[in-house]
Amino acid sequence: MWQAAQNRNQFDDTDGLAYLRSEFQRRTGLDALTADIGVDFYLKFMALQRTPFTVFVPSELIDAVWHIHLEDPEGYERFCIDHVGRRISHTPGGTPDQLAAGWENTVNGFVQNYGINLEETRFGNADQNGTPCRSFVAGDCF
């Protein structure tokens, strides 16, 4: 059913992902498989950040994983540099149009890159335009 859990984006536990998975599960109360899929979707979201000049908005559950990852600033920075090629800033806020466009970028990125309609999973936000948080890369001009 969840082929996403089998496609790992080549991230491994040297990135502290075991802790990220266990902490996400502990904080959300999700079962282990669902928490694992949630972290996998977060990794997919982060892989989308390789796209230059594009803002992405996470779903609520993806954003929850992102917040946990941000609690380890050094590990997060190292992860971003190693796997995305640059630091990805977590930027709360934005206009409704910016957030809607960022959410659309995320949904389209998941479909195009992973064949997953994020809005049809429990990790999407069918009733809103993602969260009020977005990615930002210093130096990208919008």
Burial label, 48 (beta-carbon count in 10 A; 0-12, 13-18, 19+): buried
Whether the pLDDT of residue 44 is over 90: the answer is yes
The closest alpha carbon to 73, from 54, 90, 56, 93, belongs to: 90
Instruction: For residues 10-27, give the mean pLDDT.
Output: 78
How many residues are present in the chain? 142
Residue matched to tokens 């806020």: 93
HSE at residue 2, side-chain half, CA atoms within 13 A, is 17
Cβ contacts of 123 within 8 Å, gap of 6 or more: 37, 38, 41, 59, 61, 62
pLDDT of amino acid 12: 55
Cα distance between residue 108 and residue 57, in whole Å? 11
Long-range contacts of 68-72 (CB under 8 A, 24+ apart): 68/20, 68/23, 68/24, 68/27, 69/20, 69/42, 72/16
Q: CB-side exposure of 74: number of CA atoms within 13 Å?
A: 0
* Contact indicator for 85, 130 with CB cutoff of 8 Å: no
User: pTM for the whole thing?
Assistant: 0.80
> Is the pLDDT at 138 greater than 80, yes or no?
no
Query: Which pLDDT value is given to residue 140?
Result: 41
Neighbouring-strand partners of residue 50: none
